Amino acid sequence: MADEKVGYVLGGGGVRGAVQVGMLRALFDEGIVPDLVVGTSIGAINGAAIAHDPTPAVVDRLMEAWASPAAAAIYGDSWAKQLHRLAKSRTHLNDPAPLRALLVEMLGEEPTFEGLRLPLAVTAASIERAAERWFDAGPLIPAVLASSSVPGVLPATVIDGEHFVDGGMVNSIPLGEAVRRGATQIYVLQVGRIEESLVAPEKPSEVARVSFEIARRHRFARELADVPDGVTVHVLPSGGPGKGDEKLGSYKRMDATKARIERAYAATAAYLEER
């Protein structure tokens, strides 16, 4: 249809966000190119790369980025160094400098939203206003950093005197924003958590995990149920969880990146072929 508008929605999920690279490869194989991109957290990082270069070449660039020493350095400090930084800062375990360096390498020294080849919007959570904020204009790297500033892991990002933390705190899979911005064919690149069933917890560690997952998922479930007529949503499959994804320290594991990408590519390619 001439008036069809394709939107990519990239959700949050730390290192599990590697699955989005596999999904992206499958989408480009089918010639499904976005007209707009919305993202949160790791989805803001991957989404910025897509909006910067919405061609199949971005898949290779993202694969290189995910496998690079720069990516490993984001969470690569030893526990001793992380605890030392936490004791000194009292707020976070990791230094944001490696993430900033990775973004500069992918996007350039001082990129802007206006300089991207596709419209991009990324969200972050404002501490002072206890609300989400959408960034779609002005400097790009501070906005992406704000969207991916995981509380306790990275420091809050300060923009115009306001402190921002990870967008997944307020909108982990921003489907509704893509609808609001006019997308009619939406492809949701989620990281796999919504595919995993929840059961009543039986021990303290499960209480925290299940509670966190409910907080992450409820908004997406409501927005999916409220999709208006004329809008089609495709929730792309991740290929299933990897070994160790359920562990607390899984956010640091970069060793499973290639396997995540390959599983997601195979699952998404099969889904798109059936579609």
Residue 195, SS3 per DSSP: helix
pLDDT at 248 over 50: no
φ/ψ of residue 36, rounded to 5: -155, 155
- pLDDT number for residue 77: 59
The 10s digit of each residue's pLDDT in 212-238 is 889 889 999 999 999 999 999 999 999
Among 44, 14, 37, 60, CA closest to 193: 14
- pLDDT number for residue 80: 61
**185 DSSP β-pair partners:** 6, 232
Q: Which residue has the tokens 């596999």?
A: 22
Mean pLDDT, rounded, for 180-196: 96
Q: Residue 238: CB partners within 8 Å, gap ≥ 6? A: 16, 19, 23, 190, 191, 192, 195, 260, 263, 264, 267
Residue 48 — very low, low, confident or very high, per pLDDT cuts 50/70/90? very high
pLDDT at 40 over 70: yes
**134 DSSP β-pair partners:** 123
- Poorest-confidence range of 113-122, 136-145, 245-254? 245-254
% of the chain surpassing 90 pLDDT: 72
- pLDDT number for residue 271: 97
pLDDT at 185 over 90: yes
- Poorest-confidence range of 43-47, 119-123, 244-248, 257-261? 244-248
- pLDDT number for residue 75: 65
Residue 7, SS3 per DSSP: strand
Torsion of the alpha carbons at 129, 132, 137 and 141, rounded to the nearest 10 = 90
With contact defined as beta carbons under 8 Å apart, do 185 and 7 qualify?
A: yes
CA quadruple 201, 207, 209, 210: dihedral sign: positive
- pLDDT number for residue 70: 74
pTM for the complete prediction?
0.90
Residue 240 — very low, low, confident or very high, per pLDDT cuts 50/70/90? confident
Residue 77 to residue 135: CA distance in whole angstroms: 30
* Average pLDDT over the chain, rounded to an integer: 90
- pLDDT number for residue 255: 63
The 10s digit of each residue's pLDDT in 67-98 is 887 777 676 655 566 564 556 666 656 788 88
- pLDDT number for residue 68: 81
Mean pLDDT, rounded, for 2-10: 91
Strand 232-235 to 157-159 pairing: unpaired
Element holding 145 (H helix, E strand): helix 140-147
Residue 254 to residue 63: CA distance in whole angstroms: 12
Residue 15, SS3 per DSSP: helix
With contact defined as beta carbons under 8 Å apart, do 32 and 50 qualify?
A: no
- pLDDT number for residue 60: 94
The 10s digit of each residue's pLDDT in 156-166 is 999 999 999 99
- Poorest-confidence range of 26-40, 42-56, 209-223? 209-223
